[in-house]
Chains A and B, each alone.
Chain A
Amino acid sequence: EVQLVESGGGLVQPGRSLRLSCAASGFTFDDFAMHWVRQAPGKGLEWVSSISWNSGLVEYADSVKGRFTISRDNAKNSVSLQMNSLKPEDTALYYCARADSGFYQYFDYWGQGTRVTVSS
């Protein structure tokens, strides 16, 4: 059974850092690209970042570029999101999602999310 379990969320002051992790199981992790998607309270889904299977291609939304860094450890079946210079508008539920390796690369599995609150 495919499982994605996020961790690392919490309450943090503006300007500080936080590192999110996503532990994957139930599939061959290094066959798949991974993504982070966030959802601010009462708002829609916002794609945040992605990393290819071998870390060769990483992408970021403009809203987080230069502040967030995505990485993965295929030996540990995990993907991380280092979030620096946090802003109140980064407050959201952060989901880890797996991208199907086929033609359309849809997000076929999602974690339950980890909540980040940026507030003084």
Chain B
Amino acid sequence: DIQMTQSPPSLSASVGDRVIIACRASENIASYLNWYQQRPGQAPKLLVFGASSLQSGVPSRFSGGGSGTEFTLTISSLQPEDFATYYCQQTYRTRRTFGQGTRVQI
């Protein structure tokens, strides 16, 4: 299976900060990388698919980048509702795998 490794596991930030979360795949996954946001007590929500395409309705302060094995999710100006846990996921292989998550806290 493809292993997905996120860094950092958690971070502390303030409203208005620029936040970058990294995700590394154990093999080349081209652009088959998606990002999800999960708020406490809620189901995950798709933010970015295909490494850099923003899902409809997701604020433009979110952006994704990278290809191959190295990817990033950037939040350009952190808002109160962005404090959550973020997961990357590969859909290159049929056995889908997620990163371990990055918790963004105040």
Residues of A within 8 A of B (CB): 35, 37, 44-47, 50, 57, 59-62, 95, 99-100, 103-108, 110-113
Inter-chain contacts of A100 with B (CB < 8 A): 49
A45 touches B46 (CB 8 A): no
Within 8 Å of chain A (Cβ to Cβ): is B87?
yes
Chain A residues within an 8 Å CB radius of B87: 44-45
The contact of B95 among A59, A103, A104, by CB within 8 Å, is: A59
Interface residues of B (CB under 8 A from A): 1, 31-32, 34, 36, 38, 43-46, 49-50, 55, 85, 87, 89, 91, 94-101
| A-B contacts besides A50-B96, A107-B46, 6 pairs, CB < 8 Å | A45-B36, A47-B96, A47-B97, A47-B98, A59-B95, A108-B46
Q: CA separation between A47 and B95, bound complex, in Å?
A: 8
Inside 8 A of A44's CB, which chain B residues have their CB? 85, 87, 98-101
Q: Say how far A73's CB is from chain B's closest CB, in angstroms.
A: 22
Q: Is the CB of B89 within 8 A of A107?
A: yes
Contact A106 B91 (CB under 8 A): yes
The 8 closest A-B CB pairs, nearest first, are: A110-B43, A106-B49, A44-B101, A106-B34, A47-B96, A45-B98, A104-B50, A105-B91
Q: Could you tell me if A103 and B98 are in contact, using CB atoms closer than 8 angstroms?
A: no
CA A107 to CA B96, docked complex, whole Å: 10
- Is the beta-carbon distance between B55 and A108 smaller than 8 angstroms? yes
**Inter-subunit contact A107/B44 (CB<8 Å):** yes
CB A7 to nearest CB in B, in angstroms, measures 15
C-alpha spacing A57/B38, complex, angstroms: 28
